């Protein structure tokens, strides 16, 4: 059968149109929420069987719940993976995936600029578990090859990266990893399944902070892991269940609402961001603006080849540096000064003092996360209104 389009998948995948409360009733059009922590059994034998046999059904929501599962089925289809897990947060997805891939220890090669909590996890928290990470500039895949060690188990990527919007050639990385027997993991939060299909390019595991574009409404903290059945089963019965970063049924249900409109929102985020990036690039107050859809982006050709749309994130540096950035955000009226991204509202923040403050200053400077940069998550307002707000704040 022909693969359904993303907009159709986002609405229908994973949903059972025939699941009726009883034989005479119709089907709830929006899947109902199972907001319960535990499940009741009639006999001791039934309960014991359910607790010991993974296939036998729901027992306890930390182990699985129909609302979580529906979301997971949808995520697997959207990311073209075999299976998926929903988690309590993006960091729940990052830590669960890393703890699963590195259960027996090992070495990690990671992109040098990552979301700061992920950098901290690799650079500090996992070190105490004996896991060592080498950070490289993975925009040059030769640097990954040179960093390989016999015990390298994981190559960890973001593309586009937070906050510098650097891209990584995912197909080339996957080839290097496969030849070495390492697992590739990518955080696909900035691209979404609409903007990039890493598994089709050979990547093994895809992560999301669903707090961002997937839910899109600024109402939940949630994450996702997509991969093959074995990896997802190990994560589900191991790190997820026992470290406990499980999504609540309510947040899973809210995320399902969000995903239904993701393809439509993605198209509009991309359209708005391209217009605003073009405005910023030529504005006299701006030293440089980086957006994968601009010809001036050093990896624009890779973006065209690897992505479907260039996303809603723009990073820029003002000629007046940090103080000009502070004046800009203080004067904005429509755009909100807030961390997070992928919201329907335009959000603007100063990475060095907020989202990336966990990265040591020296590493921030070395990797280009300078004190003067500002990050914009372009929302779904009318592009002219966002441009007017930025224009009045510049002046």
Enumerate the active-site residues: 62, 115, 187, 212
Contacts of 104 (CB under 8 A, 6+ apart): none
- Determine the Cα–Cα distance for residues 7 and 284; give it in Å rounded to an integer: 39
Region of 48 on the Ramachandran plot (φ > 0 left; ψ -120 to 50 alpha; else beta): alpha
| Residue 339 lies near ligand LCS (rule: CB under 6 A) | yes
Minimum CB separation of residue 347 from ligand LCS in Å reads 8
Nearer to ligand LCS, 31 or 160 (CB): 160
Distance of CA 295 to the CA centre of its chain: 25
Give the phi and the psi of residue 286 in degrees, each rounded to 5: -100, 125
| Out of 73, 217, 237, 340, the residue judged to bind ligand LCS by CB under 6 A | 340
| Residue 112 lies near ligand LCS (rule: CB under 6 A) | no
Nearer to ligand LCS, 102 or 117 (CB): 117
Contacts of 210 (CB under 8 A, 6+ apart): 86, 90, 220, 222, 223, 224, 255, 258
- Determine the Cα–Cα distance for residues 308 and 194; give it in Å rounded to an integer: 7
Question: What's the distance, Cα to Cα, between the start and end of the chain in Å?
Answer: 56
ω before 160 within 30° of 0 (cis)?
yes
Helix (H, G, I), strand (E, B) or coil at 155: strand
| Out of 189, 215, 251, 299, the residue judged to bind ligand LCS by CB under 6 A | 189
| Out of 187, 204, 317, 389, the residue judged to bind ligand LCS by CB under 6 A | 187
| Residue 162 lies near ligand LCS (rule: CB under 6 A) | yes
| Residue 209 lies near ligand LCS (rule: CB under 6 A) | yes
H or E element, residue 376: strand 373-377
- Determine the Cα–Cα distance for residues 209 and 345; give it in Å rounded to an integer: 17
352-371 binders of ligand LCS (CB under 6 A): 355
| Out of 31, 195, 223, 292, the residue judged to bind ligand LCS by CB under 6 A | 223
Nearer to ligand LCS, 117 or 240 (CB): 117
Q: How many residues bind ligand LCS (CB under 6 A)?
A: 18
| Residue 217 lies near ligand LCS (rule: CB under 6 A) | no
| Residue 14 lies near ligand LCS (rule: CB under 6 A) | no
Minimum CB separation of residue 317 from ligand LCS in Å reads 17
Q: Would you say 90 and 207 are in contact if contact means Cβ atoms under 8 Å apart?
A: yes
Nearer to ligand LCS, 59 or 159 (CB): 159
Nearer to ligand LCS, 83 or 225 (CB): 225
* Site residues (vs ligand LCS, CB under 6 A): 89-91, 94, 115, 117, 158, 162, 187, 189, 209, 211, 221, 223, 339-341, 355
């Amino acid at each position: 059968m022909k693969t359904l389009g993303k907009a159709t998948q986002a609405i229908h995948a994973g949903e059972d149109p025939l699941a009726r409360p009883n034989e005479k009733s119709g089907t709830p059009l929006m899947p109902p929420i199972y907001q319960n922590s535990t499940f009741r059994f009639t006999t001791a034998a039934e309960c014991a069987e359910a607790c010991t046999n993974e296939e036998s059904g729901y027992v306890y929501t930390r182990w699985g719940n129909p609302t979580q599962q529906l979301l997971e089925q949808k995520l697997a289809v959207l990311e073209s993976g075999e299976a998926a897990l929903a988690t309590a947060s993006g960091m729940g997805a990052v830590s669960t995936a890393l703890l699963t891939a590195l259960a027996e220890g090992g070495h990690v090669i990671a992109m040098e600029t990552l979301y700061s909590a992920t950098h901290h996890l690799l650079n500090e928290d996992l070190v105490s578990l004996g896991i060592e990470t080498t950070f490289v500039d993975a925009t040059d895949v030769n640097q990954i090859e040179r960093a390989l060690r016999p015990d390298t188990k994981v190559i960890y990527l973001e593309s586009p990266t937070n906050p510098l919007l650097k891209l990584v050639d995912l197909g080339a990385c996957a080839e290097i990893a496969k030849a070495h027997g390492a697992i590739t993991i990518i955080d696909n939060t900035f691209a979404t399944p609409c903007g990039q299909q890493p598994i089709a390019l050979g990547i093994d595991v895809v992560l999301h902070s669903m707090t961002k574009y997937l839910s899109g409404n600024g109402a939940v903290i949630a994450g996702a892991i997509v991969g093959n059945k074995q990896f997802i089963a190990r994560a589900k019965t191991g790190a997820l269940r026992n470290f406990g970063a499980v999504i609540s049924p309510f947040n899973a249900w809210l995320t399902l609402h969000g995903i239904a409109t993701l393809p439509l929102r993605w198209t509009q985020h991309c359209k708005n961001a391209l217009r605003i990036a073009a405005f910023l690039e030529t504005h006299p107050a701006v030293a440089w603006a980086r957006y994968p859809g601009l010809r001036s982006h050093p990896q624009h050709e890779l973006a065209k080849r690897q992505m479907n749309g260039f996303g809603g994130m723009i990073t820029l540096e003002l000629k007046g540096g940090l103080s000009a950035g502070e004046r800009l955000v203080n004067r904005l009226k429509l755009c909100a000064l807030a961390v997070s991204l992928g919201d329907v509202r335009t959000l603007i923040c100063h990475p060095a003092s907020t989202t990336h403050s966990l990265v040591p200053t020296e590493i921030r400077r070395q990797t280009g996360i300078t004190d003067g940069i500002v990050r914009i998550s372009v929302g779904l307002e009318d592009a002219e209104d966002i441009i007017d707000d930025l224009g009045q704040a510049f002046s």
